[in-house]
């Protein structure tokens, strides 16, 4: 099983075999397994900051949830946008592209789990580990972008409207994912806070918090 | 239900608004299906929009959910009723090829696309409703989704404008002229003989004299006609956007302020744009 998983991850990163660029059936099973295993692995590492097994378990379940739920919320719009742009004939290939990108994010996160543990081992400062995790997520997202661009290159060459569909997907996906990450916090688990699946004030709004912080910064 | 989705899918794919159909001045959109699909899609978004009123901690209201589900399709329907006459008059003045029923069909198609895109934002609205308690944010998010889907939906007939306002194809002008008895009698030129002869190519190609009539007196040049069509459509789009926004203000509440009790309609006061600025201010502080 682990060898199959590695072979699958390798094929995904290289866009080979069932993960090849272009049309064909979406390899649902492989993509879901990679997404779950990758997310679990990094989530467990992310929650290891305080050395609390329960927080590790919570974070391990929340990272795949973040990736899957963000995708599911945005998919209806992706479908309509592709149809409106006259790209329905390529929908299978476009779907393969976005799902492969999501799985790539999970695989990249898993690959950077040792990095997160290394950061935890080297500092106790909560702000530093938050920034470290932020950078890792940003790098994983860029890795996902590489896969997305590989899949989209022939599609855009065939019809430039695919570039619009891809951009709309990215904007809406990031918009939803940031809010979902805010709702699903804590992922790291500050030492002075009790272990919890969700914070007591989880149902806030990331954007309102950011806007108010920025306003206070500039206006006071 | 299956036919409803198939027809709506065909609309999104642009199968009912092919360039050749528009050039011929017809739109074969099944109106009944389109209206039903529009109502269903509007109600779907209304359901997600009204969810905030049920889930808010203060004054939760199921009535608001039901009312918003009805109000969203109503908003589009009433805006169409208010703005359609002006579009029809403007476009008829500009020699649009579409008659009033076809103009209605084109606008219904555009509103269908608008509602389809709006409904596809529904899960995102639902997700933010579940995860935030900020009323100004929810208002602003809904305004943004309405604006995006409106721009895309109304961009849909904009693409059709060039076809609708471009001059009639030469062959059609030719056949119109051929049907005129006077024209048939008056023209005995060799070119006419060629047109009535056995040679199919010759009959398809209009005689040089008639091409001159067509381009010089019957229609403006294609680029001029399209530019005029675009201008008219731009004016109508502006009117539609203003009326739609203010119609939304008149029909409010849609989301339902947590500080106020449920009301079918709020008092007539202020306007949409003042309220939008107020919402942004509340978001900032």
Q: What is the mean pLDDT of residues B45-63?
A: 89
Residues B18 and B64 in one domain: yes
Q: Is residue B271 very low, low, confident or very high in pLDDT (cuts 50, 70, 90)?
A: confident
The domain ranges of chain A are 2-219
Decide if A215 touches B, using CB distance below 8 A.
yes
Residues B107 and B44 in one domain: yes
- By residue range, what is the domain housing residue B68? 2-167+221-284
φ, ψ at A92 (rounded to 5°)? -60, -45
> Measured between CB atoms, which of B13, B113, B124 is closest to A77?
B124
Chain B residues at the A interface, defined by Cβ less than 8 Å, are 9, 12-14, 113, 116-117, 119-124, 127-128, 130-134, 136-137, 152, 156, 283-285
According to the model, what pLDDT value does residue B104 have?
80
Residue B281 has pLDDT above 70, yes or no: yes
In a mutational test of the A interface, the residue from B123, B139, B157, B281 whose CB has the highest number of chain A CBs within 10 Å is B123
Residues B161 and B271 in one domain: yes
In a mutational test of the A interface, the residue from B10, B11, B12, B130 whose CB has the highest number of chain A CBs within 10 Å is B12
Q: How far is A35 from chain B (nearest CA, A)?
A: 21
Q: Minimum mean pLDDT among B156-170, B227-241, B249-263, B264-278: which range?
A: B156-170
A193 alpha carbon, distance to own chain's centre: 25
B188 vs A91, residue with greater confidence: A91
- Picking from A124, A144, A128, A112, the residue whose alpha carbon sits closest to that of residue A42 is A112
What are the chain B neighbours of A215 within 8 Å (beta carbons)?
A: 284-285
According to the model, what pLDDT value does residue A215 have?
77
Q: Minimum mean pLDDT among A18-32, A162-176, B18-32, B193-207: which range?
A: B193-207
According to the model, what pLDDT value does residue B221 have?
55
Residues B16 and B155 in one domain: yes
Residues B197 and B73 in one domain: no
According to the model, what pLDDT value does residue B133 have?
80
Q: What is the DSSP letter of A124?
A: -
Pick from B215, B230, B245: which residue ends a domain?
Answer: B215
Q: What is the mean pLDDT of residues B228-254?
A: 82
According to the model, what pLDDT value does residue A43 have?
96
Residues B78 and B117 in one domain: yes
According to the model, what pLDDT value does residue B219 have?
46
Going from the C-alpha of B123 to that of each of B56, B63, B69, B150, B261, the distances in angstroms are 18, 21, 15, 18, 26
Q: State how far the Cα of A131 lies from the Cα of A9, in Å rounded to an integer.
A: 27
- Picking from B267, B256, B59, B12, the residue whose alpha carbon sits closest to that of residue B153 is B12
Residues B20 and B75 in one domain: yes
Residues B162 and B233 in one domain: yes
According to the model, what pLDDT value does residue A144 have?
92
According to the model, what pLDDT value does residue A42 have?
95
Q: Minimum mean pLDDT among A110-124, A163-177, B40-54, B208-222: which range?
A: B208-222
According to the model, what pLDDT value does residue B121 have?
96
Going from the C-alpha of B191 to that of each of B151, B157, B168, B228, the distances in angstroms are 49, 39, 21, 34
* pTM for the full predicted model: 0.73
Cβ pair A58, A47 in contact under 8 A:
yes
Q: How many domains does chain B have?
A: 2
Q: State how far the Cα of B260 lies from the Cα of B8, in Å rounded to an integer.
A: 38
According to the model, what pLDDT value does residue A202 have?
67
Ranges of residues in chain A whose predicted pLDDT is under 50: none
Reduced to 3 states (helix: H, G, I; strand: E, B; else coil), residue B187 is coil
Residues B42 and B75 in one domain: yes
Q: State how far the Cα of B33 lies from the Cα of B37, in Å rounded to an integer.
A: 6
Residue B175 has pLDDT above 50, yes or no: no
According to the model, what pLDDT value does residue B103 have?
76
Q: For every residue of A170-194, which 3-state class applies, written as one string? A: HHHHHHHHHHHHHHHCCCCCCCCCC
**Mean pLDDT for chain B overall:** 75
According to the model, what pLDDT value does residue B163 have?
64
Residue A194, judged by CB atoms within 10 A of its CB (0-12, 13-18, 19+), counts as: exposed
Going from the C-alpha of B228 to that of each of A47, B18, B167, B255, the distances in angstroms are 62, 21, 12, 39
Residue B231 has pLDDT above 90, yes or no: no
Q: State how far the Cα of A202 lies from the Cα of A136, in Å rounded to an integer.
A: 23
């Amino acid at each position: 099983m682990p060898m199959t998983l590695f072979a699958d991850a390798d094929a995904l990163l290289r866009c080979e075999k069932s993960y090849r660029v272009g049309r064909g059936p979406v390899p649902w099973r492989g993509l879901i397994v990679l997404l779950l295993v990758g997310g679990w692995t990094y989530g467990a590492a992310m929650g290891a900051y305080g050395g609390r097994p329960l927080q590790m378990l919570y974070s391990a379940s929340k990272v795949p949830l973040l990736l899957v739920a963000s995708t599911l919320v945005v998919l209806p719009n992706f479908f309509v946008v592709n149809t409106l742009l006259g790209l329905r004939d390529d929908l299978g290939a476009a779907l393969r592209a976005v799902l492969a990108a999501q799985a790539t994010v999970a695989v990249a996160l898993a690959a950077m789990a040792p990095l997160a543990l290394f950061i935890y081992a080297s500092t106790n400062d909560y702000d530093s580990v938050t920034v470290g995790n932020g950078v890792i997520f940003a790098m994983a997202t860029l890795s996902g972008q590489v896969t997305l661009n590989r899949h989209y290159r022939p599609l855009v060459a065939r019809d430039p409207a695919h570039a619009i569909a891809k951009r709309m997907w990215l904007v809406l996906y990031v918009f939803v994912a940031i809010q979902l990450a805010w709702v699903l916090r804590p992922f790291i688990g500050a030492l002075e806070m009790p272990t919890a699946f969700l914070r007591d004030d989880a149902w806030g709004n990331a954007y309102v918090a950011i806007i108010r912080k920025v306003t206070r910064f500039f206006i006071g | 239900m299956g036919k409803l989705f198939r027809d709506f899918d065909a609309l999104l794919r642009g199968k009912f608004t092919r360039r050749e159909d528009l050039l011929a001045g017809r739109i074969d959109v099944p109106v009944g299906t389109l209206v039903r699909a529009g109502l269903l899609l509007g109600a779907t978004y209304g359901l997600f929009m009204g969810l905030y009123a049920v889930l808010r901690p203060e004054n939760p209201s199921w009535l608001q959910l039901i009312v918003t589900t009805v109000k969203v399709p109503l908003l589009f329907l009433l805006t169409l009723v208010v703005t359609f006459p002006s579009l029809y008059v403007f476009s008829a003045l500009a020699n649009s090829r579409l008659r009033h029923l076809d103009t209605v069909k084109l606008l219904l198609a555009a509103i269908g696309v608008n509602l389809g895109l709006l409904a596809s934002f529904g899960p995102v609205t639902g997700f933010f409703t579940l995860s935030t308690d900020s009323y100004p944010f929810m208002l602003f998010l809904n305004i943004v989704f309405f604006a995006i889907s409106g721009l895309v939906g109304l961009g849909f007939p904009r693409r059709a404008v060039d076809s609708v306002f471009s001059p009639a194809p030469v062959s059609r002008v030719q056949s119109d002229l051929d049907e005129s008895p006077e024209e048939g009698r008056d023209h005995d030129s060799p070119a006419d003989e060629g047109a009535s002869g056995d040679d199919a190519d010759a009959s398809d190609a209009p005689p040089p004299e008639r091409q001159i009539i067509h381009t010089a007196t019957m229609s403006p040049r294609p680029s001029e006609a399209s530019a005029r069509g675009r201008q008219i459509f731009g004016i109508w789009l502006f009117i539609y956007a203003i009326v739609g926004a203010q119609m939304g203000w008149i029909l409010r509440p849609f989301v339902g302020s947590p500080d106020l009790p449920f009301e079918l309609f709020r008092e007539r006061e202020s306007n949409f744009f003042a309220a939008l600025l107020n919402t942004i201010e509340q978001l900032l502080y």
